[in-house]
Chains A and B, each alone.
Chain A
Amino acid sequence: MGAVLAAALAASLAGCSSTGGKRAADERAKAAAAGRPAVSTPRWTFAMVTHAGDGDTFWDIVQKGAQEAAAKDNINFVYSHDDQGQAQAQLVQNAIDQRVDGIIVSLAKPEALKDVVGKAVKAGIPVVTVNSGADRSKAYGALTHIGQDEEIAGEAVGTELTRRGRTKAVCVLHESGNVGHEQRCAGAKKTFGGTLENLYVEGTNMPSVQAAIQAKLQADPAVDAVLTLGAPFAATAAKAKDTAGSKAEIDTFDLNPAVLQGLKSDQLGFAVDQQPYLQGYEAVDLLWLYRYNANTLGGGRPVLTGPQIVTKDDADALADYIKRVTR
């Protein structure tokens, strides 16, 4: 066993690449992380509790933003997530039990979190909501909300689809029960000149997502646009389109390297970015500002981080940022 490992190691050392690869990425990360806290405030603990499923790219970027802000602000940052409302509420309760100094929470299933967020506020813990739940944030006692207004983002998509001359679109929802996703599709439907249908898929099971989109495209050849609500689903939709022999254009919410590649190679039409890095970074930074200086931002209204429509023309400029998982 040891001998095999040593041999593999020797081989990889001998065949070393002087550019790119993991080593170059490590160097960059080292340089970025070398920054010591820029402030001398006490080491506060902030907890972030989201409705993310396991291994979700989008939330990785949010987390990255939060971690970088935490490093700068001398914050002990703890992250947890669960895609079931009841379990997410439980995690917020856990944070209250730990007497953290600030809570960041996403309100994708607001009713499930109403009581527990109220409890945190009552216990004197400042709460910032991110990503979803803009309309409830204030009522539940949060300092501010940072995110994209899903309805407005959806409307931007509807307008863009119309501008591109599309007539029949399918909106692919990958998290059943997510109010924000419903709002996106509803917003798109509102401003879109053609017809738009919703398609529910099981987001944690990629093969079934592909099969569902494929079946939809085969059943209805008139569909000329597929709108996915998360970056990983765009690639899946593109595969489904090829297999089904459809001519539909694939457009998506959110960015990742594959989406960028898709935009460049005309596999995808456009992407709508809500700048997840900002949602994590700003949430931590705003909590820090509140603890340090009792500052709040947004004047009682949500602080918007999107939508930003990204097309082929922007792809090159963003390539580096996407590679380091901050866009």
Chain B
Amino acid sequence: MSGASLPADERLAPASLARRLLGRPELGAVAGAAAVFVFFSFAADSFLRAASLSTILYSASTIGIMAVPVALLMIGGEFDLSAGVMVTTSALVTSMFSYQLTANVWAGVAVSLLVTLAIGLFNGFMLVRTELPSFIITLGTFLMLTGLNLGFTKLISGGVSTQAIGDMEGFPSAKALFASQWDIGGVTLKVTILWWLALVALATWILLRTRAGNWIFAVGGGADAARAVGVPVVKTRIGLYMGVALCAWISGQHILFSYDVVQSGEGVGNEFLYIIAAVIGGCLMTGGYGSAVGAAVGAFIFGMTSNGIVYAQWNPDWFKFFLGAMLLLATLLNAWVRKRAEARA
């Protein structure tokens, strides 16, 4: 700085690329993902193989499809503990409706969409009507759905899993949409990855480019203030829960059309994985901040960690410990990077 010319006003200078990147909410998650990736590249021999990476992507996509709407919901300041079993409910409805009425499978798919959306509507409606914490409301829905899943399946199918519907009309075309896969040079890519990417793109567009996106941030930042400036708080909240339901429907159909039979007791506990993915991705537990891309990166970190531990052949008795520790480290790194970025920006 020899001061030969006057320095330009720094506020008017175009922000450098690095500085613009540092301002993004996903940055910390990306740094965490890179760290986990490098770590397992060294820790596990088979981690970097193409086949392994496709397995990891698939695993991330199954969590990621649900992490997207759950992230939006968390930005809007709410939780959904029923998200995990709702996936199973959705798959059960399709399977049992089609089988019992010997209907075209697509009819079951449509009925399942309606039922699942109705559950989302119920969650949202109960929340706005009772003003109780969403934690309590959806905990109730979670338990009720767990019971309904087992109860109805036993009542209708006579067993704890549904009958096979693989030979029914409409199954192949529905399978193509929800559970197809391609072999590219020995690597299997599953369609859920496309669903996942499409949902991330859609959610990002909604959040950053539409009025609804502004409403979501406003409701999560402070519902009363949002209401005062004319944001339709009720509509936004119900919409967010129906978004979770829509994605639960997609996930549920994927499980059904992948395996042809649904186990009624599954899905319990997965709701936390979705929340973890969203939080690693930069969503605040208190609402008002976060991004869909971040949640996708969070799901990817989860996929890398849960599969990486297996590839590294660590003792499975400690699996949950390693998983928790890695996730905590990734989140800490995320928080640290974001703090530094905010300090510099």
CB–CB A111/B310 < 8 A: no
The stretch that binds A, out of B200-208, B213-221, B252-260, is: B252-260
Q: Which residues from 246 to 304 on chain B have a C-beta closer than 8 Å to any C-beta of chain A?
A: 255, 258-261, 263-266
Determine how close the nearest CB of chain A comes to the CB of B211; give it in whole angstroms.
38
CB–CB B160/A176 < 8 A: yes
CB–CB A94/B310 < 8 A: yes
CB–CB B259/A111 < 8 A: yes
CB–CB B263/A85 < 8 A: yes
Determine how close the nearest CB of chain B comes to the CB of A62; give it in whole angstroms.
13
A179 to B49, CA, bound (A): 35
CB–CB B46/A93 < 8 A: no
Number of chain A residues whose Cβ lies closer than 8 Å to a Cβ of chain B:
28
CB–CB A177/B160 < 8 A: yes
Minimal Cβ-Cβ distance residue in A for B263: A177
A114 to B51, CA, bound (A): 19
A269 to B59, CA, bound (A): 46
Tell whether A111 pairs with B316 under 8 Å between CB atoms, given A80-B310, A97-B46, A176-B150.
no
Minimal Cβ-Cβ distance residue in A for B149: A176
Tell whether A177 pairs with B259 under 8 Å between CB atoms, given A80-B310, A86-B266.
no
Minimal Cβ-Cβ distance residue in B for A48: B316
A86 to B259, CA, bound (A): 9
Checking B52, B259, B307 against A114 with a beta-carbon cut-off of 8 angstroms, the contacting residue is: B259
Contacts of A112 in B (CB 8 A): 259, 261, 263
Contacts of B164 in A (CB 8 A): 111
CB–CB A81/B311 < 8 A: no
Contacts of B160 in A (CB 8 A): 176-178, 182
Contacts of B261 in A (CB 8 A): 111-112
Checking B46, B62, B310 against A99 with a beta-carbon cut-off of 8 angstroms, the contacting residue is: B46
Contacts of A176 in B (CB 8 A): 150, 160, 263-265
A78 contacts B by Cβ under 8 Å: yes
Minimal Cβ-Cβ distance residue in A for B319: A80
B159 contacts A by Cβ under 8 Å: yes
Checking B59, B266, B320 against A84 with a beta-carbon cut-off of 8 angstroms, the contacting residue is: B266
CB–CB B55/A94 < 8 A: yes
Q: Which residues from 81 to 96 on chain A have a C-beta closer than 8 Å to any C-beta of chain B?
A: 81, 84-86, 90-91, 93-94, 96
* B: interface residue count bin: 20 to 34
A81 to B310, CA, bound (A): 10
Minimal Cβ-Cβ distance residue in B for A175: B265
B161 contacts A by Cβ under 8 Å: yes
B313 contacts A by Cβ under 8 Å: yes
A97 to B161, CA, bound (A): 29
Q: Which residues from 48 to 105 on chain A have a C-beta closer than 8 Å to any C-beta of chain B?
A: 54, 78-81, 84-86, 90-91, 93-94, 96-99
Contacts of A115 in B (CB 8 A): 258-259
Contacts of B52 in A (CB 8 A): 94, 97-98
CB–CB A90/B55 < 8 A: yes
Checking A96, A109, A179 against B51 with a beta-carbon cut-off of 8 angstroms, the contacting residue is: A96
Tell whether A97 pairs with B316 under 8 Å between CB atoms, given A86-B62, A112-B263.
no
CB–CB A177/B311 < 8 A: no
Determine how close the nearest CB of chain B comes to the CB of A88; give it in whole angstroms.
11
CB–CB B55/A54 < 8 A: no
A179 to B313, CA, bound (A): 29
A321 contacts B by Cβ under 8 Å: no
CB–CB A80/B161 < 8 A: no
- Among B49, B261, B264, B265, the most chain A Cβ lie within 10 Å of the Cβ of B265
Tell whether A97 pairs with B258 under 8 Å between CB atoms, given A80-B316, A176-B160.
no
- Among A54, A86, A179, the most chain B Cβ lie within 10 Å of the Cβ of A86
Checking A78, A93, A175, A200 against B55 with a beta-carbon cut-off of 8 angstroms, the contacting residue is: A93
Q: Can you identify 12 A-B contacts, CB atoms within 8 angstroms?
A: A78-B313, A79-B316, A90-B55, A93-B55, A97-B311, A98-B52, A98-B311, A109-B161, A115-B258, A176-B265, A179-B159, A182-B159
Residues of A within 8 A of B (CB): 54, 78-81, 84-86, 90-91, 93-94, 96-99, 109, 111-112, 114-115, 175-179, 182, 200
A-B CB proximity, top 8 nearest: A176-B265, A177-B263, A111-B261, A97-B52, A94-B310, A98-B46, A177-B265, A111-B259
Knowing that A90-B55, A176-B264, A176-B265 are A-B contacts, what are 16 other residue pairs whose CB atoms are under 8 Å apart, sorted by A's residue number? A78-B313, A80-B310, A80-B316, A84-B266, A85-B263, A90-B58, A94-B52, A97-B51, A97-B311, A98-B46, A112-B259, A112-B261, A115-B258, A176-B150, A178-B160, A182-B159
